[in-house]
Chains A and B, each alone.
Chain A
Amino acid sequence: MKTNAWYPVRPSTRASVALAVALTVFAAGCKKKVVVPPPPPPIAAPEAPKVNQPAPSTAAVTDFTVEPSTIERGQTANLRWATTGATEVSINNGIGTVAASGARSVRPDVTTTYTLTATGPGGNATRTATVSVTAPPPPPPPAPVVRSNVGTLESRVASDLQDALFDYDSNNIRDDARAALTVDAASLQKIFADFPNASINLEGHCDERGSAEYNLGLGDRRASAVRDFLVQLGIPAAKIKTISYGKERPQCTEANESCWQKNRRGHFSANQ
């Protein structure tokens, strides 16, 4: 980045800079030494500078700063400058001619080095100032589209869909299950409207009394019966995946009819 400071400087300008530096060194040398070797004066040499009396014909940049030196893209920074002895002062990067001293705000999109050139009859002076532009941090992920009471798929499945309960060793949709599933079908339509890409697991469960092997078949039968009922009510079959758990995943583990009834069910869960 440091070398970049020179890139905006044109070759002609660079030559004049070299000259100015040489002169400055030469002038400094004169002040300290008592015995001065005779200067080669074929060309009209400038007079040795005197204290408090700078040569009016040589332009100088006394100040060129940018504050702050680092901004985020979109922010502004202030350039400030002061020059002496210049007949013209300009700043590159689209700013152009400016007053001998002044300030200006800039808003570069990328890191930019500004070069101030002070032109005087006896020589030019330049100075650079760099504004580092950093990218702003990435934005957070987009907020979910806000609809009223959408919640998550899991919470909706858990809160909006009721189990369909069954008799022992049966996959018959009872009247109470019919009522529950009719409500479930309406809820499913809303859920699928809110989550167009979602699909639902329909789990078939059994109580602990039948054999585990037979109950895998029975749970499958129950899940299919519930799915078929929902499809009749307009739910797309492709949205429902049936899984039989037999009696492997009871929600209630007591050995009484109340508990067994809870386990003889078609149950909805979100398909991850």
Chain B
Amino acid sequence: MTRKTVFLIAALPVIGAALLFGQNVDIREWITGKGGKPAIAVTDFRGSGAAQPLMGTFNSTLFSDLDSSSLFEMKPKSNFPLSNPQRPEDLRPEDNKQGLALVDWAGPPVNATHIAFGYSAAVNGVLVLYGYLYDTRPENSQAPQLLYGRYTGSLDAAGATKVAHEFANDIIQKFGGAASLLGSRIYFSSNRSGADEIWAMDWDGNNQKALTNLKSLSIMPGVSPDGSRVAFTSYAKGTPRIMIASTENGRLLPFYNQEASLNTTPNFTPDGKQIYYASSASGLAQIFVAGLDGQGFRRISRREAIAVEPKVNPKNSNVVLFVSGPGPQQIYKMDAEGSNVERITNGEGEASNPSWNPDGQHIAFSWTRGYAKGDWNVFVMDIGSKQYIQLTHSEGRNENPNWAPDGRHLVFTSTRNGRPQLYTMLADGTQVKQLTQTGTNRYPVWGAK
């Protein structure tokens, strides 16, 4: 809170302007956690009997999940007391400096606001994990327990990883309700089989597999909100057309393409009931909307410039972003009737690839602002205040950022190591991880599953 107050005083004129647009939070504050994250002490859990050898895996996974959520200030274990509670019964009200009182964790040198503790046991050949989250601060001592969970998994490393993910997920949801990445999947184009096909992988890059086998050029997928299908652009029938495939088995689903030389950049609406796309049916590529089978299409945009990449706001279906001219390509918004067109980016450089944060307030996008043409970097912008922050800094070309369901992570394409590959990072540009290695991999979208 103190940090935020200082910021408010220093930036009073900016905030004053921002207030005219509503309750806008500074983009840096938003990205770094709105001034003051929970400071969490994650103790090393121990296991009884056969469970103990698995606890190294468990402890590192739990720490990593919480750390990568960017929701917490992770307190260093080197400052922890020698002992820690394993069960609520271990807690003592008085401060004995041994780590069994919450105040031992609230005060120096730990200075944590929260503590995660617990233990595991092998019960009938099953790994059972008991996890607790407590608020350490004296002002909350009347009801310190925030979370208790009992988690079960197989008695091996996979089971330890599973229960760690589940416990971490519950803790994360306790703070801001952000969905976990666990179970989410990333869809993209890869040419590793010889032709560009649509591929899928787990959020962490595991289980990469091809969804399509069209042996053509299949690119630019969009994923339905429930993760059950992808819509993409394919040259399988000669000209670029929209195709839909099940993410379960890759089976193609019908989609009516307008008679046009170009039908492309399909994206599902947040309610999952319609598809926005760009088509040259009226001459110049413009934005259309249609049912999931392509029927009942209707033209939305009426621009005298190319219009592609329609993206409907997840909180307000009457706000549609798209990329258009005239002049250098920029990000625009319009309403669902194609009216009230407003340019979002400021006209500098070229802008593309808008991706809505689940909050409906922020976008990630690609921009060449400050660099030469074609030198793309990933930016995040508050749509209300139009404040923006640059996340990549010309380490190769960085394009197609797409938000994870948790609203904290992004997946994007970068040429920083040569050919285009997929990377994830936090919304503050840290914790960059490379997910793909083989072939050329592009156009990622992050699905709920």
Contact = CB atoms under 8 A, between A and B. Distances in A.
A234 interface: no
Contacts of B265: 213, 216
B220 A212 contact: yes
Contacts of B280: 217, 220, 224
Interface in B342-381: 350, 352-353, 366, 373-374, 376
Interface in A190-234: 207-214, 216-218, 220-221, 223-224
Interface string B319-335: 00001010011000000
B240 A209 contact: no
Interface in B275-322: 278, 280, 283-285, 306-309
B141 interface: no
A242 B262 CA distance: 9
B308 A224 contact: no
B240 A244 contact: yes
Contact of B374 (A209, A217, A243, A249): A209
B399 interface: yes
B239 interface: yes
Contacts of A214: 306, 308-309, 323, 329, 352
A149 to B, nearest CB: 30
Interface of A is mostly: mixed
Contacts of A209: 373-374
B219 A248 contact: yes
Nearest to B351: A211
A53 B328 CA distance: 119
Interface in B194-226: 217, 219-220
Nearest to B374: A209
A210 B283 contact: no
B238 interface: yes
Given A209-B373, A211-B399, A214-B352, A248 B217 contact: yes
A169 interface: yes
Contacts of A255: 374
B83 interface: no
A220 B285 contact: yes
B233 interface: yes
B2 to A, nearest CB: 42
Given A217-B306, A244-B262, A224 B285 contact: no
Nearest to A247: B374
A168 interface: yes
A249 B217 CA distance: 10
B352 A213 contact: yes
A264 B284 CA distance: 18
Interface residues of B, number: 35
B264 interface: yes
B328 A216 contact: no
A249 B195 CA distance: 12
B48 interface: no
Nearest to B278: A217
Contact of B306 (A221, A242, A249): A221
A168 B372 CA distance: 13
B374 A224 contact: no
Given A210-B350, A221-B284, A243-B240, A216 B233 contact: yes
B353 A211 contact: yes
B68 interface: no
Contacts of A243: 235, 238-240, 261
A224 B283 contact: yes
A42 B373 CA distance: 126
Nearest to A220: B262
Contacts of A224: 261, 280, 283
Given A209-B373, A244-B240, A216 B285 contact: yes
B261 A223 contact: yes
Nearest to B260: A220
Contact of A217 (B219, B262, B443): B262
Which of B217, B233, B238, B261: most chain A CB closer than 10 A?
B261
Nearest to B373: A209
A208 B396 CA distance: 13
Interface in B154-209: none
Nearest to B325: A169
Contacts of A213: 220, 264-265, 278, 308-309, 323, 352-353
A209 B373 CA distance: 6
A249 B235 CA distance: 12
Contacts of B442: 212
A62 B238 CA distance: 76
A211 B220 contact: no
13 contacts: A169-B329, A209-B374, A211-B353, A212-B399, A212-B442, A213-B264, A216-B278, A217-B262, A220-B280, A224-B283, A241-B261, A243-B238, A243-B239
Given A213-B264, A216-B262, 9 more contacts: A168-B373, A210-B329, A210-B373, A211-B376, A212-B442, A214-B329, A217-B280, A224-B283, A248-B219
Interface of B: 217, 219-220, 233, 235, 238-240, 261-262, 264-265, 278, 280, 283-285, 306-309, 323, 325, 328-329, 350, 352-353, 366, 373-374, 376, 399, 442-443
